[in-house]
Amino acid sequence: MPHSSCNGPVHRREFLRAGALALGGLGLSDVLAARHASGATSVPATSVILFWMWGGPSQLETWDMKPNAPSEYRGPFSPIATNVPGLDICELFPQLAKVADKYSLVRSLHHEMASHNDGSIELLTGKTPSKADPTSTAKSEHPDFGMFTSRVRGAHAQGLPQYVGIPRQPFMTQSVYLGMSHQAFATGDPSVKDFRPPNLTIDAGTNGLRLDDRRGLVTQLDRLRRDLDLGGSLEGIDQFRQQAYQLLTSTRVATAFDLEQEDPKLRDCYGRHLWGQSCLLARRLAESGVSVVTIDAMAPKTGTPLYFSWDDHANAQPGWDLAKGMQWRAEYMDPALSTLIEDIHARGLDQKILVVAVGEFGRTPRLSRNSGNLGRDHWPQAQAALISGGGLRMGQVVGATNSKAEYPAERPLTPQDLMSTIYRHLGIDQHREFADFAGRPHRILSHGQPIRELV
């Protein structure tokens, strides 16, 4: 509907364009207004960090080794003992072995989605795609858990995003009926020199006058809107302008993203690469009150080989195989994830922050070979996850697969059970419903129970 003015009708599109100009093209107050309309604005003091191992990590080369299986199953590596008696993991992770008392392993996850995007959608949304897409180009029909968390919790009191993706947001999930404002804020690569996240700063000039002028423009536009708002439809716009200004100028936001405030020695422990600095930034953001942080654990540094994900097929690239891929990734993951776990516990944040390391599925138990290269193919029937913190019970193994890591043999669990555990930590009622564009109600999570051994 157009709004009337002395010079004729002023259309909503022009209002939105003016709002975008007021804040450097962001249109941020409209986003904040949409979030406010979602309901609650209080922020529970819990957060989740997801170390997302896209490509599908092998359970047999990470957390569920089978050293007594036949040679065509057991793989090229040996298990090593951890600081928890009876809990062994792959020899590629010696630093993680030293902190096993601070995490638990779930070895009996399983589902049926064998393509990358479908499996990712199953894990990240807790909903099975209605139609399998073997081309791995599928997009979710429902929001992921970070989007639902953003919607339920509403705007952050300190102006921080509720959902952050490092260095990018999950590419196979969509906010759909929740609205674009609940997508993850993508940070870019935090390991680059002079890292600054995009769109969270205003160029204020050397003396701040530019910033004052921009705020003055906002004030003028708000006054114009109030004059034109004959029907009251723009009531409360000042609040959203102020909140937008707070987000773009808040020292709390700037501090949360500022890795330069960390001890250089600690940054070295995490690793001066994408995965290491992503884990460090995730801790800072969760500590500051961001609800959900996802770490896209694909290539751990720039200039990486073509084969950079956890998709360890034997024929993925000539001269590259499962053993080489695992050795290369573990070199970065072991210090990054182990330091994150230790850091969270050392700061007393292990009740507040839950860390989950998992991918979209496991790998085929039987090895495949191609021109001398080893590999494993997609296998959703058995996968493992590492879980740390969140006030849960640590230092244990939940569930088990059979002797060849083919299928769950004890305590079969689903991605929905894992997601239910995550929602429990976030204090979100998984049975709450939201309507889609056709008015049909959808539960946040239709089935699944928190993993009782952990809670």
Rg of the Cα atoms in the chain:
24
DSSP 76: S
pTM of the model: 0.83
DSSP 4: P
Distance CA 159, CA 248 (A): 8
Distance CA 53, CA 329 (A): 10
Asked whether the beta carbons of 396 and 386 are under 8 A apart, the reply is no
User: What is the enclosing helix (H) or strand (E) of 15?
Assistant: helix 12-22
Asked whether the beta carbons of 274 and 331 are under 8 A apart, the reply is no
Q: Is the dihedral of CA 411, 414, 416, 419 positive or negative?
A: positive
Give the pair of three-digit tokens for residue 59: 């359970």
Phi and psi angles of residue 262, each rounded to the nearest 5 degrees, phi first: -85, 150
The pLDDT assigned to 133 comes to 84
Distance CA 419, CA 449 (A): 8
Give the pair of three-digit tokens for residue 167: 């260095």
Domain spans in the chain, listed from the N-terminal domain onward: 42-194+261-443
- Three-class secondary structure of residue 314 per DSSP: coil
Give the pair of three-digit tokens for residue 235: 């009531």
Cis peptide before 415 (omega within 30 of 0): no
Half-sphere exposure of 58 (CA within 13 A, CB side): 34
- Do strands 368-370 and 383-389 pair parallel, antiparallel, or not at all (unpaired)? unpaired
Show pLDDT as tens, one digit a residue, over the chain (455 residues).
333 334 344 444 433 333 333 333 333 444 445 444 544 444 458 999 999 999 999 999 999 999 999 999 999 999 999 999 999 999 999 999 999 999 999 999 999 999 999 999 999 999 999 988 887 789 999 999 999 999 999 988 888 999 999 999 999 999 999 998 899 999 999 999 999 987 665 433 434 444 455 555 556 555 555 555 544 444 444 544 554 555 566 678 889 999 999 999 999 999 999 999 999 999 999 999 999 999 999 877 766 654 478 999 997 566 678 999 999 999 999 999 999 999 999 999 999 999 999 999 999 999 999 888 899 999 999 999 999 999 999 999 999 999 999 999 999 999 999 999 999 999 999 999 999 999 999 999 999 999 999 99
The pLDDT assigned to 237 comes to 46
CATH class entry, domain 42-194+261-443:
alpha beta
Nearest one of 110, 63, 109 to 89, comparing CA atoms: 63
pLDDT in tens, 23-69: 333 334 444 454 445 444 444 589 999 999 999 999 999 999 999 99
Q: In the chain, count H helices and then E strands.
A: 13, 18
Distance CA 167, CA 42 (A): 27
pLDDT in tens, 375-386: 999 999 999 999
Nearest one of 390, 273, 261, 380 to 337, comparing CA atoms: 273
* ∠ Cα 84 336 98 (to 5°): 20
